[in-house]
Amino acid sequence: MYENIARNRTKTALIITGFIIFITAVGFAVGYYIDWRYGVNNAYSILIMVFALILAIIMSFASYYYSDRIVLSLTRATPLSREQDPRVYYAVEGLSIAAGIPMPKIYVIEDKGMNAFATGRNPQKGVVVFTKGLIDKLNDEELKGVISHELSHIKNYDILLGTIVVVMVGMISIISNIMLRSMIFGGSGRRRTSRSSGGGILTLILLVGGMLLILLAPVIATVIRLAISRNREYLADSTGALVSRYPAGLANALRKISENSEVKTANSATAHLFIANPIGKKSRVMFKSLFNTHPPTEERIRRLENMSLGVGTK
Amino acid sequence: MLIGVIVLLIVIGALVVILLLTAIGIYNSMVSLRNKVDNSWHQIDVQLRKRYDLIPNLVETVKGYAKHERETLQSVINARKQGIDAKSIKEQAEAENMITGTLKSLFAVSERYPDLKADQQFSKLMEQLNGIESNIAFARQFYNDMVMKFNTRIQTFPGNIFARMFKFNAKDYFEIEEVSAREPVKVKF
């Protein structure tokens, strides 16, 4: 348990460091190219690199402190009060006592698909999110199984790593998108009228930076896959079962969830947070190789059913 | 010869340092586990206190409808007092078993008074009580898990040597006799 927390903290520090180095390196590469193109000595490479470094540090701080809010608004989750759903509220309250963590906030996503995830940077700031479909379709024991699974993610600090990854990946893809879009749309429009002027340095920065990021996207995806091992899902399943003392609850829940786990507001950046793959079957084909962060449901159910509860049933 | 002595001294010194560091590590981990046990006991205590606060209200509400059940009501009040006065974990567990038992007979009695059952205040208190009791069960589960970890740590080698040295004593489990006190596990297909 404690080794896991330490491992997650180390990985988070590594990912943030990697992110800062990566953005700075891209900045330097872009500047280096401009230096070479215009024949100036190191003027742009250093300038853009420093700018990129500062930007990356600010973004890292922002993602550490605000990533949970970003993720919640990305998935369009809204808070759920005790009055709205006492059943979910009391189940989360009780199970967080059993797991020995402060009670997390509860959010809900208005979606028919059945899914759930947890976020926050530490157990004190934990948030659990369920879809409406999950709350409606699962019975008490199954719901408790899912809640225990999410609480285990909070307890293991999986949420810190997972949430930071979302924001970092998201930012890289947003930056590359902005760069390429401004190049394709803004750039092509201008090119017709002012081609002779060479497009300017800004266009060049956008173009080279965007291209670099796009080219490096598979590398980033690989890094994420290495960081977020599928083992953490198995681990959260088993620690969750120890909290709820009823592995069959989660096993049955997973069986039900696998019928329809699609969440419309989820995307490839947030997919790994969820208890089951939230990407619809159609678009899954595209992302399968890149973001295969969920172990097969059948295997998870099999392991849960093999769990004997001889330990700690006192 | 002199070199041999120096090497021997260095080796002995290194061994002493390693032993000391290990001892410090084991001692610290025991202290942190003991603190975790104490903290998890506090979680139970919070829930128990909530139940103590609720019982007088419940007794008052029942009294309004069922005046003749003085004996049952008194036994609930006595059990509550015993719980508040409990000194050790064993005593506490006994008192809590008694409270749960007397509350059960109170509900059995309340079955005979339809007006009481229809009372809104009563059903609200009942709902709260159910929530608190399930939280007590969860807090108890966490506490017992922690106690098991702590006891295993101080009873297995090499922890047992240090435990004796620094006077770490095994903690009591918080046990509830009746199986039915724990929420029954339902299986639905």
Look at chain A and count its residues: 314
Residue whose entry in the numeric block shows the structure tokens 């402060």: A102
- Considering the candidates A83, A93, A141, A150, report the single residue annotated as catalytic: A150
Contact B138 A90 (CB under 8 A): no
CB-CB contact of A117 with A150 (8 Å): yes
Assess whether A3 carries a catalytic annotation.
Answer: no
CA angle A25, A31, A37 (to 5 degrees): 140
The pairing of beta strand A105-109 with beta strand A116-119: unpaired
Residue A191, pLDDT score: 45
Cα–Cα distance for residue pair A267/A164, rounded to 1 Å: 15
Cα–Cα distance for residue pair A153/A127, rounded to 1 Å: 11
Question: Residue A314: its chain B contacts at CB < 8 A?
Answer: 144, 148, 173, 175
Largest Cα span, chain A: 80
Asked if CATH classification 3.30.420.40 holds for the domain at A74-159+233-306, the reply, yes or no, is no
Q: Which residues of chain A from 246 to 275 reach within 8 Å of chain B, CB to CB?
A: 246, 248, 252
Give the chain B residue whose CA is nearest to the CA of A141.
Answer: B186
Contact B141 A139 (CB under 8 A): no
Residue A293, pLDDT score: 64
Q: In the structure encoding, which two tokens stand for residue A125, read together?
A: 């700031």
Cα–Cα distance for residue pair A120/A132, rounded to 1 Å: 21
Give the chain A residue whose CA is nearest to the CA of B40.
Answer: A100
Choice between B13 and A164, residue whose per-residue pLDDT is larger? B13
| Helix, strand and coil in chain B, % to nearest 5 | 80, 0, 20
**Residue of A94, A139, A141 with shortest CB distance to B138:** A94
DSSP readout, B56-114? Answer: HHHHHHHHHH-TT-HHHHHHHHHHHHHHHH--SHHHHHHHHHHHHHHHHHHHHHHTT-H
| For chain A, domain boundaries | 2-66+162-227, 74-159+233-306
On whether any CB of chain B is under 8 Å from the CB of A90, the answer is: yes
Cα–Cα distance for residue pair A92/B131, rounded to 1 Å: 12
CB-CB contact of A96 with A145 (8 Å): no
Residue A314, pLDDT score: 34
- pLDDT tens per residue across span B162-189: 888 888 888 888 887 654 444 444 454 4
Residue A188, pLDDT score: 47
Cα–Cα distance for residue pair B48/B85, rounded to 1 Å: 12
pTM: 0.79
CB-CB contact of B132 with B54 (8 Å): yes
Largest Cα span, chain B: 99
Cα–Cα distance for residue pair A291/A280, rounded to 1 Å: 13
Q: In the structure encoding, which two tokens stand for residue A291, read together?
A: 């973001």
Which domains are assigned to chain B? Answer: 2-170 (1.20.1440.20)
The pairing of beta strand A127-131 with beta strand A105-109: parallel
Residue whose entry in the numeric block shows the structure tokens 């893809």: A173
Contact B135 A93 (CB under 8 A): yes
Residue A107, pLDDT score: 96
Residue whose entry in the numeric block shows the structure tokens 């006190």: B181
Give the count of Cβ contacts less than 8 A between chain A and B: 44
- pLDDT tens per residue across span B37-92: 999 999 899 999 999 999 999 988 888 888 778 888 899 999 999 999 988 888 89
- pLDDT tens per residue across span B102-159: 998 888 888 888 888 888 888 889 888 988 988 998 999 999 999 999 999 999 988 8
On whether any CB of chain A is under 8 Å from the CB of B72, the answer is: no
Residue B187, H or E segment: none
Q: CB-hemisphere CA count at 13 Å for A9?
A: 8
Contact B186 A141 (CB under 8 A): yes
Q: Looking at residue A184, what DSSP letter applies?
A: I
What burial letters (b/e) apply to A223-257, b meaning 16+ CB within 10 Å? bbbebbebebbebbbbbbbbbbbbbbbbbbbbebb
Question: Residue B145: its chain A contacts at CB < 8 A?
Answer: 100, 312
Question: Residue B133: its chain A contacts at CB < 8 A?
Answer: none
Each of the 314 residues of chain A gets a pLDDT tens digit; together they read 667 788 888 888 888 898 888 888 888 888 888 888 887 777 778 888 898 899 889 988 888 888 889 889 989 999 999 889 989 999 999 999 999 999 999 999 999 999 999 999 899 999 999 999 999 999 999 999 999 999 999 998 889 888 888 888 777 777 777 777 766 665 444 444 444 445 577 777 777 777 787 777 767 766 666 667 678 888 899 889 888 888 999 999 999 998 888 898 887 778 888 998 887 765 555 554 455 667 888 888 988 888 755 443 33
Question: Residue B146: its chain A contacts at CB < 8 A?
Answer: 100
Residue A194, pLDDT score: 43
B105, burial (CB in 10 Å: exposed 0-12, middle 13-18, buried 19+): middle
